[in-house]
Amino acid sequence: MGSSATPSTAASAPGRRKVALYLALLTLQYGAQPLISKRFVRQEVIVTSLVLSIEVAKVICAVILLVAEGSLKKQFSNWSITRSLTASGLPAAIYALQNSLLQISYKNLDSLTFSILNQTKLLFTAFFTYLILGQKQSPKQIFALTLLIAAAVLLSIGESSSKGSGGGNSDYVLLYGIIPVTVASVLSGLASSLCQWASQVVLVIVLSRKHPIATVDPFNNNTG
Encode pLDDT of 153-186 as tens digits.
777 676 656 655 554 577 888 888 889 999 999 9
pLDDT at 218 over 70: no
Residue 179 in any domain: the answer is yes
Residue 94, in any domain of the structure: yes
Torsion of CA 57, 63, 68, 71, to 10 degrees: 160
Per the domain annotation, does 29 fall within a domain? no
Mean pLDDT of the region 60-85: 82
Q: What's the rounded Cα separation, in Å, for the pair 108 and 47?
A: 14
Predicted confidence at residue 224, as pLDDT, reads 45
Residue 223 lies in a domain: no
Question: Rounded to an integer, what distance in angstroms lies between the CA atom of residue 96 and that of residue 106?
Answer: 16
The pLDDT tens digits of the residues spanning 98-138 come to: 988 988 888 888 877 888 888 888 889 999 998 988 888 88
Say if residues 100 and 176 touch (Cβ distance below 8 Å). no
User: Does residue 17 register a pLDDT over 70?
Assistant: yes
**Residue 31: how many CB atoms within 10 A of its CB?**
13
Host domain of residue 160: 44-72+82-210
Residue 199 lies inside a defined structural domain of this protein: yes
Counting beta carbons within 10 angstroms of the beta carbon of residue 86, is it exposed (0 to 12), middle (13 to 18) or buried (19 or more)? middle
Residue 97: its pLDDT value, please?
Answer: 92
Q: Does some domain include residue 186?
A: yes
Q: What is the pLDDT of residue 187?
A: 94
Asked, for residue 6, whether it belongs to a domain, the answer is no
Burial 44-79 (b: 16+ CB within 10 A, else e): eeebeebbeeeeeeeeeeeeeeeeeeeeeeeeeeee
Q: What angle do CA 126, 128, 133 make, to 5 degrees?
A: 95
The span from the CA of 104 to the CA of 88, in Å, is 24
> How many domains is the chain partitioned into structurally?
1
**How confident is the model at residue 55, as a pLDDT?**
85
pLDDT of residue 180: 92
- Residues 1-30, mean pLDDT to the nearest whole number: 69
Tell whether the model's pLDDT for residue 212 goes beyond 70.
no
Helix (H, G, I), strand (E, B), or coil: what is residue 109?
coil
Q: Residue 57: is its pLDDT beyond 50?
A: yes
Angstrom CA distances, 204 to 4, 81, 192, 208, 222, stand at: 41, 18, 19, 6, 12
User: Measuring CA to CA, which residue among 80, 54, 94, 84 is closest to residue 194?
Assistant: 94
Does residue 33 lie in a domain region? no
Tell me which DSSP letter residue 175 carries: I
When pLDDT is cut at 50, 70 and 90, the band that residue 77 belongs to is: confident
